[in-house]
Structure formats: C-alpha cells, structure tokens
Amino acid sequence: MRVLVVGSGGREHAIAWKLAQSPSLTALHAAPGNPGIAAVAECHPVRAEDPESMLGLARSLEVDLVVVGPEVPLVLGLADALRRFGFLVFGPSAAAARIEGSKAFAKDVMDAAGVPCPARLALARPPCVVKADGLAAGKGVFVCRTQAEVDEALRALRALGGDVVVEELLDGPEVSLFAVCDGSRAVPLVSAQDFKRAYDGDEGPNTGGMGAYAPVPGVGPGDCASLVSAVHEPVLAELARRGSPFVGLLYAGLMLTADGPRVLEFNCRFGDPETQAILPLLDVDLVQLLAAAGRGDLGQVGAPPAHGSAVTVVLAGEHYPAQGDRGSGITGVADAEALGALVFHAGTALHGERLVTNGGRVLAVTGTGPTIGDARSLAYAAAERIEFPGVRYRTDVAAAPAAGLTFSVVAGE
Ligand code: AMP
Ligand code: GLY
C-alpha cells in the first residue's frame, strides 16, 4: 500500500517509523514531515492545515491510505475532504473530532453514553479545574486549589479567548489509553502514562507532554479491554447514534480515582509523546491495522501484543512551553542512536546539512528494554548524549512508575 502521513511532530515520526516496518507498505510519504521522518518517508512541503493542497498531494501521489496525525487538520475537516474524494483515511471527521475540539461537547457525549467523568461545576470556586473549551495544545487546563489560582486561570483563559469549562478536582494516577476505532469497534493499545507538567516533581505549567512510559504496571491487557468496554465503546456508540461515527485513534485521558476510572479528556488522535513509547512495543503491522480501521473492518482484529517496556524523554527548548526555540544547532543524535535508543524528531529543521531546533519540543528519545528500569536507563543515557543551547528535559520520567495500580471498572457505570 502507498501511505501518506500528515503532520510533522515526534508522534508522526514514530507513526512513520512503525509504518515503514510493515510488509504491506510499498511507498511512504509525509507532509510536511521533518528531518527525522525524511529518513523513512519522502517528505512534501504541504502544510497539515491546508486541506485543499493536501487533497491535491494525495491525488497526485495516488495513495491508498492517509494517516492524519495532529488534531487541528482533523477538527478543520481534512478527513472529510479526503473521504469525499474516495480516499481511505485513518482519522475522524470534523464532527467526530469535536470529542477533542470541544470539552463541553465531550461532556455531553459522555453524559449521554453513561461514561464517568468529573462533574461540571456552575461556579469557578476552589478546589476546581478550569479549562478552555477549545483546542489549546495541552496548555488550556488549570488545576486550582486557591482563589488566587482561580483568578490567574481565568485571566490566562480570557487571554486565550473562547468558552471556559469548570469541573470538580479529582485525584489519582493518570493513564492514557489509546484505541484504534473503526466507527463501532475499539481495539486497545498498551497502556501508557504521560508527564504533562513542565518540570520535575510535576511542577510548573502543563505542556503538550514532557515524557511517557508504557505499559503502566497494574494496567494490563485485561484491564485495557475492560476500560475500552466502559469508556471507548459507549462513546463510539453515542457518536454513531448522532450520525458522526469515529474512525481513527480515540485517546482517553483517564484518572484512576478511589471511586473508579474517570475520563479527564478525549483526544481524537495519537498522543504525543505516548505514541513514541507505545509503538516501539507493539507486535503489529500498522499499515494493516490502520487500513482495517479506515475500512470499518476491525471485526476480526484483536489487541496487538506488546513486548517489554519503553520510556520516552522529551528534549525541549529552554523556554518551552512559553516559547519555542529556533535555529540552535543540535549534536549527538547519532551517538544517542548508537546506544540503541530511538530518537524521534519533534521540532527540528535542517539548515543546509546542519540539524537545528525548530519548536518547543525538539526531540523525543525512547529507550526500550525488558523492564521500565532498563528502558529508563537507556533513554536517559541517550538523552545525555544530545546537546543544543538551552536543552531541557525532566529527569524524573518513569522514576517511580505507578506500583501495581488497583482499580475496578464497572462497565456502563
Ligand atoms: P486535560 O487536557 O483535560 O487532560 O488536562 C490536563 C491535565 O490536567 C490532566 O492530565 C490532569 O493532570 C489535570 N486535570 C484535568 N482535569 C482534571 C480534574 N478534573 N481533576 C484533576 N486533575 C485534572
Ligand atoms: N500527551 C498528551 C497529548 O498528546 O495530548
């Protein structure tokens, strides 16, 4: 199959890297891609947010499958435009992508589907969580324990514009659970945990994600299957009932509270950087899996087995998340790879032959191994080899992986 990957981040590099291993692949293209993706795919300078040009590219390349990485083009209707012209697409329609594009819509869907999520509050009074309703690249959520924090959150969200959602503040470990969906069926991938805060010890502002590991101890294949029945499948049924079936990757951000799992958010695409930890563990032909989902044909497909553990550390620019970094020279990538780590490019560019920074999250370094400890040692040994001015990363990713979480899922709770 001829496949086009849309996007240019670390997630898309991991997706392209995994697709490239598929025996069913005959050609791999990416748009716009990045210097890391260029090692496994032919990159084309078309912006992900320009649906008309992307459609033109897909037609000229005569691709058999388009995999859309980021949320923005999905919310803008890229998958709809491609499907109208007969392309097989892995990624939801704009109507189904609202599950990520609007927190208020997601809550309506969950209420109708009987999926447990934090209660909505009428007033922003501490303790509470204040969120931007629309897309905010992981930066629109404020956990508020004091009135001063509420005031600051409302100020920041006013600056972003758009509606605000207030909900109860919950407590518990978080798990990211991805499921490949074909409109009615959901196939879970291995569980992962994301490190969203900017600094060690979960301090500082929320970011797109500073690191991840998989699998989460205590959240094994059986738990993933129960969670998918309690969370993803009812949401798929409700979206289908509303006439907007979800075809693509449905990502549930879960909190495992003392009262059971609660959905903090849905994303309509692979998570970044969890994808960089999850995909290296999977024993799967990713082209076949995503194409089957696109065709609505996951009936005979089971959850792909995952082997070993992975830890991903994000190397960010000095001022991320406030600001990205551009044009600083990067060294040491080949040394990191020589240790056996995978180095996924997130925000990089080439100035001539020189690899330079080009964004907030610059690289995602993944170590794999039999245990999380082995994977972690490799990821950090590799991360230390890489340098650019101001490089910054969390040193506590997977330092204390959730020790055998215990929780219970009651389907249809
Ligand atoms: P979200 O983008 O909605 O997943 O929120 C980002 C992060 O904010 C989550 O990963 C949690 O750490 C935190 N968060 C969001 N909602 C809540 C909540 N209701 N209670 C506690 N923490 C939350
Ligand atoms: N890692 C969180 C996200 O992709 O939204």
- Going by pLDDT thresholds of 50, 70 and 90, the confidence category of residue 408 is low
Answer yes or no: is the C-beta of 118 below 6 A from any ligand 1 atom. yes
User: In this model, does residue 412 exceed pLDDT 50?
Assistant: no
Candidate CATH numbers 3.90.600.10, 1.10.760.10, 2.40.110.10, 3.40.50.2000; the one for domain 309-383? 3.90.600.10
Among 267, 312, 344, name the best residue to mutate to test ligand 2's pocket (greatest count of ligand atoms within 8 A of Cβ): 267
Measured by CA distance, the residue closest to atom 3 of ligand 2 is 271
Output the CA 131–ligand 1 centroid distance in Å: 9
Separation of CA 171 and ligand 1 centre (Å): 9
Which mutation among 135, 264, 269 tests ligand 1's pocket best, with the greatest number of atoms within 8 A of CB? 264
Ligand 1 mutation pick, 129, 139, 197, 210, max ligand atoms within 8 A of CB: 129
User: Closest ligand to 212 CA?
Assistant: 2
Whether ligand 1 lies within 6 angstroms of the CB of 253 is answered as yes
Higher-pLDDT residue of 104 and 390 is: 390
Ligand 1, atom 15: closest residue by C-alpha? 264
| Distance (Å) from CA 56 to ligand 2 centroid | 29
Q: pLDDT tens digit string along 20-59?
A: 999 999 999 999 999 999 999 999 999 999 999 999 999 9
CA of 13 to the centre of ligand 1 (A): 26
214 in contact with ligand 1, CB cutoff 6 A = no
**Which pLDDT value is given to residue 160?**
80
pLDDT of residue 15: 98
Cα three-residue angle 312-315-317, rounded to 5 degrees: 155
The alpha carbon of 141 and the centre of ligand 1 are apart by a number of angstroms equal to 7
Tokens linked to 276: 């960089």
Task: Give yes or no for residue 202 having a pLDDT over 70.
Answer: yes
> What ligand 2 atom has the least distance to the C-alpha of 209?
1
* Among protein residues, the one whose CA lies closest to atom 16 of ligand 1: 264
CATH code that applies to domain 119-167 = 3.30.1490.20
Which tens digit of pLDDT belongs to each residue from 359-394? Answer: 999 999 999 999 999 999 999 999 999 999 999 999
279-306 residue pLDDT tens: 999 999 999 999 999 999 999 999 999 9
Fold designation for 2-91: Rossmann fold (3.40.50)
Which CATH number is 173-294 given? 3.30.470.20
pLDDT at position 413 = 38
The predicted structure's pLDDT at residue 138: 63
Percent with pLDDT over 90 in the chain? 88
CB of 138 shorter than 6 A to ligand 2: yes
Beta carbon of 135 within 6 Å of any ligand 1 atom: no
Query: Is 309 within 8 Å of 245 (Cβ atoms)?
Result: no
Q: Residue 206: CB within 6 Å of ligand 1?
A: yes
* 157, 175, 255, best to mutate for ligand 1 pocket (most atoms within 8 Å of CB): 255
Going from N- to C-terminal start, the domains of the chain cover 2-91, 119-167, 173-294, 309-383
pTM for the model stands at 0.94
